[in-house]
Structure 1
């Protein structure tokens, strides 16, 4: 099971923007004027567009330098996360409830780079049930659907068996999350807590749409209803 992070589990937009501004200054020597909107996209894509809209021609070393600077800037601000950010309603209870399902492993499929995803969830005590080693992250320069398949491959290496739409579930708040699940090969639970409204999530093809995560029983029922056990003899 793969969780989107921002606006699904946490909202730390103020700190994220501040870290981006610092990373932009470190890499370019200029102040950040405009930050490209996230819209469910990976950090690597946001970085390239942010450089472009601020009149910076992208060079080969820009992405790795920016990713490194962003990680450092965010780490420096991690103590602000709990004060200036918020945990989305029901997130902790939902993670705990899903963890009680037999055979379920929880990880993340997020546009955020790995180190920052860890900081975001740890700040609110949401990391306990997450296996960060098998997730998909924003520093990996792939579309989110491909990140999903990368994460499935990591899960196969770790646990054996084949992970498909029959035993993989994505939970996210944007139509981009839905599209990634549809293309990448996963069932999809949409939560209308962030970027997209419930009707938009349904229209995009989400299998189940919830208003938020506040009813843990509904989350568990949705996960259980969309999955079947992994065939460890396959593949």
Structure 2
């Protein structure tokens, strides 16, 4: 079970922007004027686009330096996450309820770097439901669809079970999440809690779309249905 983080489980956009601004200044020596919107993209992609829109010619060492600076800047602000951010409606109950399903292991597939993903979920007490070692993260040099397959490979190595669209489910709020899941080989539940509307998530190919995570029973039923023989046949 793969969860997107931002606008699916938590919203910490204010803190994230501040961390990006500090990292940008640390790497370029200039103030950040414009930060490109995440829209489901990994930090590695956001970094390059942000450099470009701010008139910085990317060099070979810019990405690793920026990601390192971003992780440090975000860690310095972790105390602000619960105060200035929010947990998305129903996130805790959804994670807790899904964790009770037999055979389910929950991790994340996120555009954010690993350390920041841990800080984001830990701030709201959601980290205890997540196996972070099996996930896929924004500092890894893969598109999100490939990153999903990397996460499946990690799970197979740990658990000894091959993971395919028949036994892998992703939950995300953006059309990019949906597209990555379909290309990478996972069933996908869209939640219209982020910037993508219900109709957009459906058009992108989501197997199911929920308004948010506030109905934990509905989330559990969706996950169970998509991983059951009947659910796979219907899909």
TM-score grouping bracket, smaller chain normalisation: over 0.9
Q: Cα distance, 1:36 vs. partner?
A: 1.2
**Where in structure 2 are the equivalents of 1:148-167 lying within 5 Å?**
148-167=148-167
- Runs of 4 or more, structure 1, over 6 Å off, are none
1:74 aligned partner: 74
Q: Cα distance, 1:42 vs. partner?
A: 0.1
1:218 aligned partner: 218
Aligned equivalents of 1:90, 1:179: Cα separation in 2 = 24
1:87 aligned partner: 87
Count how many residue pairs are aligned between Structure 1 and Structure 2. Answer: 229
Aligned equivalents of 1:206, 1:137: Cα separation in 2 = 21
Q: Cα distance, 1:216 vs. partner?
A: 0.1
Q: What are the superposed Cα offsets for residues 172-192 of structure 1, whole Å, 9 maximum, x if unpaired?
A: 000000000100000000000
- SS of 1:128's equivalent in the other structure is helix
Cα RMSD, aligned residues only: 0.8
Q: What are the superposed Cα offsets for residues 22-58 of structure 1, whole Å, 9 maximum, x if unpaired?
A: 0000000000000111010000000000001111110
* Structure 1 stretches lacking a partner, 5+ long: 230-235
Q: What are the superposed Cα offsets for residues 151-184 of structure 1, whole Å, 9 maximum, x if unpaired?
A: 0000000001210000000000000000001000
Q: Cα distance, 1:141 vs. partner?
A: 1.5
TM-score, normalising length: structure 1: 0.97
Q: Cα distance, 1:228 vs. partner?
A: 4.3
Aligned equivalents of 1:134, 1:210: Cα separation in 2 = 25
Aligned equivalents of 2:187, 2:87: Cα separation in 1 = 24
Aligned equivalents of 1:34, 1:142: Cα separation in 2 = 25
